[in-house]
Amino acid sequence: MQNKAKNSMYKAKKSQVDFVLVIIILILLSFGIVMILSASAPSALAETGDSYTYVTKQIIFAVIGLVAMWFVSKIDYRIYKKFYWLIYWASIGVLLLVLIPGLGSEGGGARRWINLGFAQFQPSELTKIGMIVFYAGYLTDHKNELRSFVKGFLKPLAFLIPPVAIALFIQNHLSVGIVMSAITFIMMLMAGCRLLHFIVCGGIVGGGGIAALFIYLSSAGESAGDANFRLGRILNYMDPWQDPTGTGWQTIQSLYAIGSGGLFGVGLGESKQKYLYVSEPQNDFIFSILAEELGFIGCIVVIVLFALFIWRGILIAMKAPDMFGSLLATGITSLVMIQVVINIGVVTNTIPNTGMSLPFFSAGGTALIILLAMCGILLNISKSRSKV
């Protein structure tokens, strides 16, 4: 009784969940399902003989995900803070599950899946949210150290090493490493780590990289022309037409799809590129199909929807009653943001190709459930916002 009273006293102004965010989530989710229905039909037909294979699965997972979101939004987010160390170690542990024979399954030459029998599941999805909780807790508890270089900058980053190393070297999963690192940077920045540290370290790492490249270029190339040639080759990694049937295939097909779209697109369901040209049109490259079918307008709508989602997320982070909540919201929002940016960046050939799914759109059951559950956390934080 007393505890409860204390809790309620502790609580700041009780308010409703962020209704705008719920709407955005629902729009994105339904949009995603419609796109999967359209994009996945040919490959589903080719692989399983049923055009609706992916969309049926996606709807089931979306429903489960929405239930999970509702359920999680009822759980007070502060509870997670008590277990952040446990969650940290569990996050690392769960990454190693793929190594257990019989449980982990290999796909595309990498061990990053766990077979649950009814569905495949990437433990790294759990690790991402685990790391967000951990950093939110850790940075809150050590908020007074954040301005020091060693304690506030290097030490928090050190916790990133084990999961990223496992992701990179055991799972061969570059994108998870990138996402986790990026989320951590954003959370640390938002927690109040000194920007100077990031700039200096970023400068040193980046400068070192450029210097290494330069040394490589000048030492390997005898003449300036040769060096230019090498530099050209390095810059040309973004020219997919150098190897149109090999490494460039995915990117070229994606560009064909987007380019075919025009202003209004070829019409929903009318994509030609989804017919096995664009690899996994229901997955990493679903945005290309969207761009082909719904055109420039459709792209703007989706990008604006994501921007709105991120905006609401940041708003929740700003209005959170405590630092833990704020950082938790920051982490979840940045997770969505990073994935969207990398995904759209890849399909538009703005950045090099790394496998990255588009939140709410890409087919992928467990990932969707976890995403919606995270949205539940976000909604829970939004419920207990402080006065601003």
Partner 1 sequence: MRKTRRKETKAKEKRLGNKLSDRKKIVKRVKGEKEKNENLTKLKKKLENRKNKKYKEQVKRTKVVVDEKYGEITRRKRMKMWIFIVILIAILFIVRIGWIQFVMGDWLKEMAFEQQSLDRAVNPRRGTIYDATGTNILAVSSTVNTITVNPVNISKENKEKVAEALSNIFELKYEDVLKKVNKKTSIETIARKVEKEKADELREWMSDNGIDVGINIDEDTKRYYPYNSLASQVIGFCGYDNQGLDGIEAIYEDELKGEKGRITKVTDAQGGEIDNEGENYISAVDGDDLVLSIDLTIQGIAEKYLKEACIDNECTDGGNIIIMNPKTGDILAMAGYPNYNLNEPYETTIDELKANWDNMSQTDQIKEMQKVWRNKAVADTYEPGSTFKLITSSAALEEGITTTDKEGEFCCTGGITIAGVRISCWRYYKPHGSESLRQALMNSCNPVFIGLGQEIGVSKYYDYLEKFGLLRKTGIDLPGEANSIFLKEDKVGPVELATISFGQRFEITPIQMITAVSTIANKGTYVKPRIVKKIVDSTTGEITEIPTEKTENVISKETAEGVLSMMGSVVAEGTGKNAQVQGYSIGGKTGTSEDGVNTGKYVTSFVGVAPVSDPEVVVLITLYNPTGEGGHQGGGVAAPIGSQVLGEVLPYLEVQKDNTEEDGIQEEVEVPNIVGFTISEAKEKLKDLGLDINYEETEENISDKKVISQVPVGGMKVNKGSKIIIEYEK
Contacts of 279 (CB under 8 A, 6+ apart): 249, 250, 253, 285
SS3 221: coil
In terms of Cα–Cα distance, which of 378, 387, 383 is closest to 313? 378
Q: Residues touching partner 1: how many (CB under 8 A)?
A: 49
Residue 372 contacts partner 1 per CB under 8 A: no
Query: Could you tell me which stretch among 32-40, 63-71, 217-225, 248-256 binds partner 1 (CB under 8 A)?
Result: 248-256
- Tokens for 23, please give them: 């709407």
- Listed ranges 3-11, 18-26, 111-119, 187-195: which one lies at the site for partner 1 (CB under 8 A): 187-195
**Contact set for partner 1, span 78-137 (CB under 8 A):** none
User: How far apart are the C-alpha atoms of 290 and 34, rounded to whole Å?
Assistant: 10
User: Which is nearer to partner 1, 217 or 266 (by Cβ)?
Assistant: 266
Query: Which of 306, 324, 360, 361 contacts partner 1 by CB under 8 A?
Result: 306
Contact segment (CB under 8 A) with partner 1 among 165-173, 197-205, 218-226, 268-276 equals 268-276
46 binds partner 1 (CB under 8 A): yes
Q: Which is nearer to partner 1, 293 or 366 (CB)?
A: 293
Are 264 and 291 within 8 A, CB to CB?
no
Tokens 């991120």 correspond to 310
275 binds partner 1 (CB under 8 A): yes
- Is 155 a binding residue for partner 1 by CB under 8 A? The answer is no
DSSP at 150: I
Residue 288, amino acid? S
Two tokens at 84? 């952040």
CA 198 to chain centroid:
22
Identity of the residue, 142 or 230, whose beta carbon is nearer to partner 1 in the bound complex = 142
Residue 291 CB, shortest distance to partner 1, in Å, is 6
Residue 326 and residue 304: Cα distance in Å, rounded?
23
CB 306 within 8 A of CB 142: no
Which residues of this chain interact with partner 1, rule CB under 8 A? 42, 46, 143-144, 146, 186, 189-192, 253, 255-263, 272-273, 275-277, 291, 295-296, 299-300, 303-304, 306-307, 310-311, 314, 317-318, 323, 326, 330, 337, 341, 344-345, 348-350
